[in-house]
Amino acid sequence: MPKPIFLIGYMGSGKTTLGKKLANRLGLPFIDTDEEIVKEIGMTITEYFGQFGEDEFRKLERAQLRRFADNYAVISTGGGAPCFFDNMEWIKANGYAIYLYMTPKALFDRLSQSKLHKRPILIGKSPEELRAFIEEKLTEREPYYTQAHLTIDQLNTTVEDLVSMINQHNR
């Protein structure tokens, strides 16, 4: 049975947007693990973080990833998901991991234009603080992200290019 395609990368890298397009193009279901967590817990991730803390959220996120092991689907993970426990090893063993790479500047440009209420961790940060935050977190997370089977330049890779790369890998 074919394995799921896991999209990994920093917040704002386009995992959900590209994921929906890729799933549509491949005729596969699309699953956003953050959306699934919100449905399960009945509150926003920010509320859950506030009430139970990051450790409990990361355990929930880990369980959510494993729930989709048997789904041949395009799965968008939370930005931090690959960086905790053995999640990246598990993703690679149970699916095809694609890292949506973007430069810190491109992420800053995109995130500074995003709806901040959807990204509460960014609220109240000055442009300089936001830039530093992105650079720091990306530096922490890249050793995990770069373990993916495939790394793409998110801004310069079309869905058609990505489909071709996936098909080449699956030969």
Bigger pLDDT: 76 vs 124: 76
Q: Find out whether 55 is annotated in a ligand binding site.
A: no
64 within 8 A of 37, measured Cβ to Cβ: yes
Q: Find out whether 79 is annotated in a ligand binding site.
A: yes
Q: Find out whether 34 is annotated in a ligand binding site.
A: yes
**With 70 as the cut, is the pLDDT of residue 101 above it?**
yes
Residue 69: per-residue pLDDT = 85
Residue 49: per-residue pLDDT = 84
Share of residues in the chain with pLDDT > 70 (%): 96
Residue 171: per-residue pLDDT = 61
Q: Find out whether 50 is annotated in a ligand binding site.
A: no
Q: Find out whether 139 is annotated in a ligand binding site.
A: no
Structure confidence by residue, pLDDT tens digits, 104-116: 999 999 998 876 5
Question: How high does pLDDT run on average in the chain?
Answer: 92
Domain boundaries, the chain: 5-102+145-162
Q: Find out whether 58 is annotated in a ligand binding site.
A: yes
Architecture (CATH level 2) of domain 5-102+145-162: 3-Layer(aba) Sandwich (3.40)
Q: Find out whether 78 is annotated in a ligand binding site.
A: no
Q: Find out whether 119 is annotated in a ligand binding site.
A: yes
Q: Find out whether 33 is annotated in a ligand binding site.
A: no
Structure confidence by residue, pLDDT tens digits, 51-87: 998 899 999 999 999 998 889 999 999 999 999 999 9
* pTM metric for this prediction: 0.95
Q: Find out whether 16 is annotated in a ligand binding site.
A: yes
